[in-house]
Structure 1
Amino acid sequence: MYSEAAIRDSLAEKEVLLKEIHHRVKNNMQIISSLLNLQLQHVQEEEARNVLIESQGRVKSMAMIHEKLYQSPDLARIKFRDYIQKLVYDILYTYGVKARNIELEMDIDDIELDMETSIPCGLIINELVTNSVKYAFPEGKGTISIQFKGQDELQLIIKDDGIGLPQEVDVEHIETLGLQLVLNLVKQLNGELTINRSQGTEYIIKFKELKYNKRF
């Protein structure tokens, strides 16, 4: 039989190892982000540059998950309010948006999520906020609202008061890579997506936290 002290020491050792794993994954993703940034310096075509910048944003959104898990006391769940705030401000910085030009409104409950749910949710937020920043405000000014609420069932709303999706865009058959990715991620969450185009663009996503799938 293991003594209580031995069990405690074993758990502490596993905790240190798990923290190290999250730390190394975050560092590796930061290396990928840096490589994409180096590649940007050698690319002139605007479309290719946009692809690299968007890819870099996706890598960063996942790296932040591992950073938050590394910093979390229980190593299993992250406080999503802090994560969303950091992610959104990083997007604005990446695209050179001045704070006075785009106003942010955030109404986020004190929600904690595990990694299974955090990564697709973080990628969704990254895609939708990036779309708003890039396309919603041709005059460079507007408001982006983010609401994340719920307990058992969660509701994420990302809205802007910009020019809205073009009328020719069929929300049932979206062809753009970013929105296709959002649709696939919502399916991964077993969620439901509603798009409201009456005033600007509003994305309403309802889902529940995923149950952990054992790998072994």
Structure 2
Amino acid sequence: MHRFKNDMMVVTAILRTQGRQLTDERAKTALMNTTNRVLVMSRVHQRLRVGSEAKPVVDTHEFIAGLYEDLKASLVDLQPITVESHLEAHTLAHENAVAVGLIINEAVTNALKYAFPEERPGTVSVSFRQHEGEFILQVKDDGTGFTPQREPREGGQGGLGSKLMNAMAQQLGGRLVLEPDRGALGTIVQVSFPAR
């Protein structure tokens, strides 16, 4: 674990150094987003370890609540956003927990970046439950919702974040749906996958 953490710190330092040398703002933003993803991956792996050993299975309530607190501390506290979580406790294989953690990070980060412009207050909630043989992960916000440029889509046909979430959903053997909240402002990101 110590070597992994050091490797992640080296990668992050390289990305930040490269970012400082760029003059193109779009490239800088893309590199900053990549750096943040590397940091999240490191954080997810740290949460999945006890001492120097990886946990073979993870308690979903404990893991997701801890990850959500990390996101809240690093992102949400900078905005007037309320965060909520509704989490059932189930066991999840280590590799599936990594995928779930990355999906949560992307969905929450996207909500904070796009759903609440101009310091608009709002709520982001994360839920995890089991229903009829499937685990259902849902990240929901009450932000501005979809615009004509951001149509609802299934399967993550969109930006890099959507593609990453779709790849993680496929790794779980599940499906990703991004859609407007029916009858309300906001967006729902939902991943359903077999509870095995």
Q: Same fold (TM over 0.5)?
A: yes
Count of residue pairs brought into register by the alignment? 188
Deviation at 1:61, TM superposition (A): 2.5
Report the counterpart of residue 25 of structure 2 in structure 1: 46
Task: Please tell me whether the aligned partners of residues 61 and 87 of structure 2 are also in contact (alpha carbons under 8 angstroms).
Answer: yes
Is contact 1:77–1:113 with CA below 8 Å preserved after alignment? yes
The 3 A distance-change label for structure 1 pair 209 and 55 is farther
8 Å Cα contact 2:15-2:35 kept in structure 1:
yes
Asked whether the 8 Å contact 2:55–2:94 carries over to 1, the reply is no
Q: Against the structure 1 CA distance between its residues 65 and 112, is the aligned structure 2 distance closer, same or farther, given a 3 Å change threshold?
A: farther
Aligned CA RMSD, in angstroms, stands at 2.7
Query: TM-score if structure 2 supplies the norm length?
Result: 0.80
User: Radius of gyration: which is bigger?
Assistant: 1
Match status 1:142 vs 2:107: no
Evaluate the alpha carbon distance shift between residue 180 and residue 24 of structure 1 in structure 2; reply closer, same or farther with a 3 A threshold.
same
CA distance in 2, matches of 1:51, 1:27: 23
Please tell me whether the aligned partners of residues 44 and 67 of structure 2 are also in contact (alpha carbons under 8 angstroms): no
Which one-letter code corresponds to 1:145 in the other structure? Answer: S
> Matched residue of 1:163: which SS?
coil
Structure 1 residues 88, 46: closer, same or farther in 2, change over 3 A? Answer: farther
Please say which of residues 39-48 and 200-209 is displaced more in the overlay.
39-48
Note the 1:1-216 alignment, pairs <5 A.
Answer: 22-71=1-50, 75-92=55-72, 94-95=74-75, 97-98=76-77, 101-140=80-119, 141-150=121-130, 152-170=133-151, 171-172=153-154, 174-197=157-180, 198=182, 199=184, 200-208=186-194
Cα distance change, pair 51–107 in 1 and its aligned pair in 2 (3 A): same
Change in Cα spacing, 1:81 to 1:28, as seen in structure 2 (3 Å) is farther
Separation (CA, whole Å) in 1 of partners of 2:149 and 2:79: 32
Residue 117 of structure 2 aligns to a residue whose secondary structure is coil
Match of 1:180, SS?
helix
* Mean CA deviation greater in 25-34 or 124-133: 25-34
Unmatched 5+ stretches in structure 1: 1-21, 211-216
| Secondary structure of 2:102 counterpart | helix
Percent identity of paired positions between Structure 1 and Structure 2 = 32
| Aligned CA distance change for structure 1 residues 74 and 63 (closer, same or farther; 3 Å) | closer
| Aligned-pair CA distance for 1:94 | 4.8
